[in-house]
């Protein structure tokens, strides 16, 4: 097999994965396919500060990063925490506000997104100028596959490219067809940005709206998440989804979902866990009760924000005593 054939094969596999991941995760015919974008939980641990600060550590750092602090001495933990505080203080006024802390928590929870962008950035910033133009992205992603007029994997790459270009233009705020890293992040992960939510809704509707009338009717809604696959009897969850469509999704009771109803479905206004945790951390650490934190106040309360060998050992003793 030629090297160019291998490149084409790799690109096709990447594009298929991108297309499927954008639409929904693969599942069996009897399993539900979920298009709803929920804010993830900050931690899978119980939030009970009387027992431990593990939930707060996961929320503040992200679960994987939080583990790395458990191997540090208290002095090392405080030093690293102090460096983090300097990053959180966005306007460099010497104080950390609830909003700055909330933004940091959201960043820590979605660190994987930024890591994904970094990986893809290297493969698309072909001239290494710190920007990714549409031409660079198109050439890196579609350059080889577009030369094949009849791909044998069933994907319409030209159609996918048109869709990508539309999303790229939406992410590109200044309209120069050149993306900064932030704009490129919005292109790859549009559900994370308010100004990209309309394109998320539009792409979702195009995927589900099989008769192209600009709406999602009940059968299109069910057909997107469930395939009968020759089975006459629907699982119970499918019947529940039919009821959900009639009772809640189709708000104006016209038998179909329009753009706003689809947006309410796939991009619900969830409870803001990050803001709640930010307010909790400020409340617990704000010694002079001025509604904001200094670096000293945070480091003094370091065991609330990060772990260390001392806190890890202390929690182990508590668990031992309970046992």
Provide the residue-wise pLDDT of the chain in tens; the chain has 323 residues.
444 444 444 444 444 444 444 444 333 444 556 788 877 789 999 999 999 999 999 999 999 999 999 999 999 999 999 999 999 999 999 999 999 999 999 999 888 898 899 999 999 998 999 999 999 999 998 887 766 656 665 567 888 999 999 999 999 999 999 999 999 999 999 999 999 999 999 999 999 999 999 999 999 999 999 887 766 688 899 999 999 999 999 999 999 999 999 999 999 987 889 999 999 999 999 999 999 999 999 999 999 999 988 755 444 433 334 43
Distance CA 45, CA 26 (A): 28
Closest by CA position to 154, among listed 16, 8, 20, 56: 16
Q: pTM for the complete prediction?
A: 0.73
- Per the listing, tokens 């951390």 go with 281
């Amino acid at each position: 097999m030629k090297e160019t054939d291998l490149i084409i094969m790799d690109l096709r596999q990447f594009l298929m994965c991108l297309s499927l991941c954008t639409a929904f995760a693969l599942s069996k015919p009897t399993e539900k396919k979920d298009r709803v974008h929920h804010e993830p939980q900050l931690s899978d641990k119980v939030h009970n500060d009387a027992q431990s600060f593990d939930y707060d550590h996961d929320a503040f750092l992200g679960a994987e990063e939080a583990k790395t602090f458990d191997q540090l001495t208290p002095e090392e933990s405080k030093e690293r925490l102090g460096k983090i505080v300097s990053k959180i203080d966005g306007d460099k006024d010497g104080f950390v506000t609830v909003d700055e802390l909330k933004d940091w928590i959201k960043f820590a929870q979605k660190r994987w997104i930024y890591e994904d962008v970094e990986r893809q950035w290297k493969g698309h910033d072909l001239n290494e100028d710190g920007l990714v133009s549409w031409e660079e992205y198109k050439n890196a992603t579609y350059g080889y596959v577009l030369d094949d007029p009849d791909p044998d994997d069933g994907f319409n790459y030209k159609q996918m490219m048109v869709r990508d270009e539309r999303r790229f233009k939406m992410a590109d705020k200044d309209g120069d067809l050149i993306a900064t890293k932030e704009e490129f992040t919005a292109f790859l992960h549009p559900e994370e940005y308010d100004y990209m939510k309309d394109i998320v809704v539009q792409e979702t509707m195009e995927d589900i709206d099989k008769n192209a009338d600009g709406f999602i009717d009940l059968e299109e809604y069910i057909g997107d998440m469930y395939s009968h696959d020759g089975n006459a009897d629907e699982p119970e969850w499918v019947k529940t989804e039919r009821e959900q469509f009639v009772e809640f999704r189709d708000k104006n009771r016209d038998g179909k979902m329009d753009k706003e109803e689809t947006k309410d479905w796939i991009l619900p206004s969830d409870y803001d866990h990050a803001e709640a945790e930010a307010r909790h951390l400020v409340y617990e650490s704000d010694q002079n009760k001025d509604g904001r934190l200094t670096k000293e106040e945070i480091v003094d309360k370091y065991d609330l924000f990060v772990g260390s060998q001392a806190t890890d050992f202390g929690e182990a003793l508590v668990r031992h005593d309970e046992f």
